[in-house]
Amino acid sequence: MNALQEEPMRIALLGFGTVGLGWAANYLAKGCTVQAFDPAANAKERAAAFLDATWPALRALGLTQTERFPADRLHVVDTPAAAVQGAAVIHENGPENVAMKRAIYAEAEAAATPDAILASSSGGLPPSTLQAEMHRPERFVIAHPFNPPHLVPLVEVLGGDKTSPETVERTIAHLRALGKHPIKLQREAVGYLTNRLQFALVREAVHCLAEGIASAESIEDAVRFGLAPRWLGMGSLLTLTLAGGSGGMQRVLDSFSGAIENWWDALGSPRMTPDVKEKLLEAAGEITQGRDLDQLIALRDENLVDTLRTLAALHSI
């Protein structure tokens, strides 16, 4: 299957929350037909409101030329079995609960076409555990997007011990055709890759807040004005390499290994105690400054459009 070249390709979305809606926006922008299931009674109305609000961002990124989302290609159905009928790719977007996901898979597998990819959007559950009770585990794969999924291009792709290599490669090719930037993980790990990187920083941010090292605003600014501008064009390993100047990584290792280890040793491991939770709630109030969260989400998405354009220009680095 050469994804997105079969018109109109049918895509099944099992779970129509934030992630499912993000997938829907991407697929509708590419001309696919979306068949979605969600137990919420207002799923169709919520989807229409989301797509109306986010469609301008997709247009601004050049992902679609149509002025409004194609409502005639979005079908919200009553069961997972109805959603997967004729679908080439199935995205499961349910809660991070193994038993609930397995129940969804059991119904979906029985109605899916034999060669359909069954992809989970799980953010950290082991794929081998999720596929353990499947009849066709070789077609199961993790395809984990990042919030907001209709804009952020990264998708982590990871197979379990029963996933066929062909399924992993088909999934990667499919996501590239969708305009995503898939990365293949080489083995299973709790939290996969990007959440591990992300929450290492979150953990230390919480630690610095809890220990009174800096205010919430200063912690935010350290990332926004110090780390993020460099990280837009490169990751942590290239950043570390360039810290050695013309001597590169070898100079860093020769000159700073001891200091780096001391910094690692000083990092914290905070727990979500009542005191830490209270400080986090206070921090949230400080950094949002009473602004409406829906407005902040809209501002985030608007800023992401400009950021992604910049990222495209820096892609050659």
Q: Are the C-beta atoms of 13 and 40 separated by less than 8 Å?
A: no
Higher pLDDT, 316 or 202: 202
Ordered by start, the domain boundaries in the chain are: 10-184, 194-313
Closest-CA residue to 117 (of 147, 152, 155, 154): 155
pLDDT recorded at residue 316: 57
Q: Inform me whether the pLDDT recorded for 150 exceeds 70.
A: yes
Answer CATH for 194-313 from 3.40.50.12710, 3.40.30.160, 1.10.1040.10, 1.10.10.10 = 1.10.1040.10
Residues near 315 by Cβ (< 8 Å), separated by ≥ 6? none
Closest-CA residue to 201 (of 231, 243, 245): 231
User: Within 10 A of 99 (CB to CB), how many other CB atoms are there?
Assistant: 7
Sole residue written with tokens 């919420």: 40
Average pLDDT over the chain, rounded to an integer: 94
For residue 158, the cross-strand partners are 142
Class of domain 10-184: alpha beta
pLDDT recorded at residue 1: 40
pLDDT recorded at residue 164: 98
Strands of 74-77's sheet in order across = 74-77, 33-37, 10-14, 89-92, 117-120, 140-145, 154-158, 181-184
Task: For residue range 220-267, list pLDDT tens digits in order.
Answer: 999 999 999 999 889 999 999 999 999 999 999 999 999 999 999 999
Task: For residue range 5-29, list pLDDT tens digits in order.
Answer: 546 899 999 999 999 999 999 999 9
Task: For residue range 35-83, list pLDDT tens digits in order.
Answer: 999 998 899 999 999 999 999 999 999 999 999 999 999 999 999 999 9
Give the C-alpha separation, 56 to 60, whole Å: 6
Sole residue written with tokens 């602004």: 291
pTM, to two decimals: 0.91
Q: Inform me whether the pLDDT recorded for 276 exceeds 60.
A: yes
pLDDT recorded at residue 3: 45
Looking at this protein, which amino acid is placed at residue 293? L
Q: Inform me whether the pLDDT recorded for 114 exceeds 80.
A: yes
